[in-house]
Structure 1
Amino acid sequence: MTLHESSTSPSTVRQRFRELHVASTPLLMPNPWDPGSAKVLESLGFQALATTSAGFAGTVGRLDGRVTRDEALGHAEQIVAAVNVPVSADLESCFAADASGVAETVRLAAAAGLAGCSIEDYDRDTGGLFPIEAAAERVAAAAEAAHAGPDPLVLTARADGGLHGLEDLDDTIARLRAFEAAGADVLYAPGVSAVADLRRLLDAVSLPVNVLALADAPAVAELAELGVARISVGSGFYLAAMGALAAAGRELLDDGTYQFWVPASRGGEATSAAFA
């Protein structure tokens, strides 16, 4: 069997990833931060994974938005190599303001063996959103690069206003509709989690929609009833792991006890099963 024919060839994996996006049967897609966490999540039964820009940045001691394109793509390639399930990459704003730079980032993502990638409309240089016309042009450039060739990537276009204090649902919906017209495959408005807002958003677009599972988000069953096609956790699992690490450290420093070994034993079981 050749690589192209195998179950883990880019063509097969990308097609599988596309087929997993079904409205009302949401794909649960958690976000590992290194190859080990990716292997654990795969072993638990998740059918697809996505990188987390904040989680990866944390592994090298930086805040979100402080890694380079080469670093992010190298990290994504490591995750792809570690697992057999489809992997989508959080590529922030595609590390470029101009359309040609965006397209180059997506071409490099395809070369890394990814099944998909995302593009934000947040401009880290200005601290605001790209104007809607410019944002749509960037999505169009990303879509053209993602869909080039026989094995297209699944492109997720993000309207990120809700994560940056720019909570205008009308503007978010207008952006998602523009991104749909520009050629995106999946739409994503992280920070939109109220049932009424999600219902409006889902009624306004026809593409699969991803929802970020924040603490106040509806449960999976309710999101399924609304017609959501994919649910991700962003940096949530990474931060949960860091929270457990901090709690264990504080216990040792402040109490001088070792109860951290109780949850640690469960971690040992998970890694033993995943890495065997």
Structure 2
Amino acid sequence: MTESPRRPTPVTAFAALHHGDEPLLLPNAWDFASARAFAGQGFRAVATTSLGVAAVAGLPDGAAATREETLRLALALGSQPLLLSVDAEGGFSDDPDEVARFAAELYAVGVVGINLEDGLGPPERLAAKITAVKRAVPALFVNARTDTHWLGDGDTADTLARLDAYQAAGADGVFVPGLTDLRRITVLARCLDVPLNVLYAPTGPPVRQLADAGARRISLGSLLYRTALGAALEAVADVRAGRAPGGAAPSYGDVAGLLPPPG
């Protein structure tokens, strides 16, 4: 009897999306309904946005304050028909073993990827976290973010040194938000052994140009959450002014249909 080929696991399916003919365009959700809505638009993989999760909970972003909220959302979404990657800021701890335990909790509920950032701290600190996570959960896709272009001056040598340290520590991909210069993207992509992730910017190059420059993963970050909030403010301003709000709005039934059934 001929054995049927093994189906890829969700984690390997997620990793494969970084190596296809097209880059992985990754929408970032802030709650259950937004993640399900993006998946309903045909996106196989969805990530979370730390700003959106923090804003929904009324907590500060980037302050290691949303560990439980992040885990709760992952628990709700991990069993859904989508590949979920979680933005975990810096891992909600400076202790690599604590970060690894959190990553293991995420993996246990069905998460396939985690994003960890350095916040321009010592690269050795994030490298230690990556090593600990890969030791505890080898299958989890670790995307290591450096903030050299987000919080620093965008020095290419510093960026490369950090990315080299993170891929050497076991990162499966690296992320440089704030990098929009196509030439620099090409330089970095050619120097890396793992896929390069960049952040889409409405004022920056379109997706096709980012892909041609070498980006293999293009995240939308907090853009969609901020756009949704902006649309809500425009709608309430229209209502207050006596105008019918413009723009598309899902019906009550559409949104209810995204949610789990009672019981």
Q: Is TM more than 0.5 here?
A: yes
Distance 1:204 1:24, change over 3 A: farther
Equivalent residue, structure 2, for 1:126: none
Gaps of 5+ in 1: 1-5, 123-128
Equivalent residue, structure 2, for 1:74: 72
Cα shift at 1:258: 1.6
Equivalent residue, structure 1, for 2:248: 263
1:63-142 pair list within 5 angstroms = 63-65=60-62, 67-81=65-79, 83-122=80-119, 129-142=120-133
Distance 1:214 1:224, change over 3 A: same
Give yes or no for contact 1:40–1:271 (8 Å, CA) kept in 2.
Answer: no
How far apart are the structure 1 equivalents of 2:85 and 2:245? Answer: 36
Report the TM-score, using the length of structure 2 for normalisation: 0.88
Q: Is 1:143 paired with 2:140?
A: no
1:179 aligned to which of 166, 170, 184: 166
SS in 1 for 2:86: strand
Distance 1:205 1:270, change over 3 A: farther
Q: Is 1:275 paired with 2:261?
A: no
Q: What per-residue deviation string (whole Å, max 9, x for no partner) do you get for residues 240-274 of structure 1?
A: 00000011112223x222233x422xx33993696
1:105-254 pair list within 5 angstroms = 105-122=102-119, 129-147=120-138, 152-253=139-240
Cα shift at 1:75: 1.3
How far apart are the structure 1 equivalents of 2:58 and 2:147? Answer: 24
Equivalent residue, structure 1, for 2:3: none
**Could you say which structure has the greater relative contact order, defined with CA pairs below 8 angstroms and 6 or more residues apart?**
1
Higher helix share: 1
Q: What per-residue deviation string (whole Å, max 9, x for no partner) do you get for residues 49-70 of structure 1?
A: 0011111111123332353322
The aligned amino acid for 1:12 is: T
Q: What per-residue deviation string (whole Å, max 9, x for no partner) do you get for residues 90-148 of structure 1?
A: 000001112222212211221221011111111xxxxxx2212233222222222230x
Report percent identity of matched pairs.
36
Deviates more, 1:54-63 or 1:201-210: 54-63
Gaps of 5+ in 2: 1-5
The aligned amino acid for 2:44 is: Q
SS in 2 for 1:163: coil
How far apart are the structure 2 equivalents of 1:175 and 1:218? Answer: 24
Equivalent residue, structure 2, for 1:125: none
Give yes or no for contact 1:30–1:50 (8 Å, CA) kept in 2.
Answer: yes
Q: What per-residue deviation string (whole Å, max 9, x for no partner) do you get for residues 177-212 of structure 1?
A: 110111010111111111111111112112011111
Distance 1:85 1:45, change over 3 A: same
Q: How many residues are paired up?
A: 253
SS in 2 for 1:275: coil
